[in-house]
Amino acid sequence: MVAKFMSTEWIRLVGKQWDTHPEIQKDLKNFNATWEYYIEDRPDIPHVMLFCKAGKVIYAGPSDGRRRDFIMWTSMDYWQKILSGEISGKSALMTRRLKFKGSMMTAMKYMTPFNIHLNILGEIPVDFDI
């Protein structure tokens, strides 16, 4: 199944895929956080979010106004490069191509699950024609 990028359907598939990764579950077993994602050059596309509690996704859907611990955004072009694996998430973050708002210290502490998380985004078959 192919989902439109940044759609509710897409982020819900991301959440389901997240929950199949035992390493991320183990590394984040004592971690609760919300992530919001959006496309910098497409303000017409609503933001989506994940809420993780004890390593499991308990909400994946439209951004609903709750407090976000991390916000990540970049251009459509760079999202495509990150999701295709052309650019690693870590490299995109360190070169500031992937913009990030939140505790960088926390992100660095959890870099392995952060990278898995970005890889998961790329595991979902996606339609970028939005």
Residue ranges covered by each domain of the chain: 3-120
Q: Which CATH class is domain 3-120?
A: alpha beta
Helix axes 111-123, 8-18, angle to 10 degrees: 130
Residues 79 and 66: their CA atoms lie apart, in Å, by: 24
Q: What is the pLDDT of residues 86-110, one digit of tens each?
A: 988 778 878 889 998 999 888 878 8
pLDDT at 53: 93
**The token pair that represents 69 in the structure block:** 């611990």
Residues 110 and 59: their CA atoms lie apart, in Å, by: 20
Nearest Cα neighbor of 68 from 38, 108, 35 is 35
pLDDT at 91: 84
Residues 68 and 48: their CA atoms lie apart, in Å, by: 11
List of residues 6+ apart from 124 with CB closer than 8 A: 3, 10, 13, 14, 17
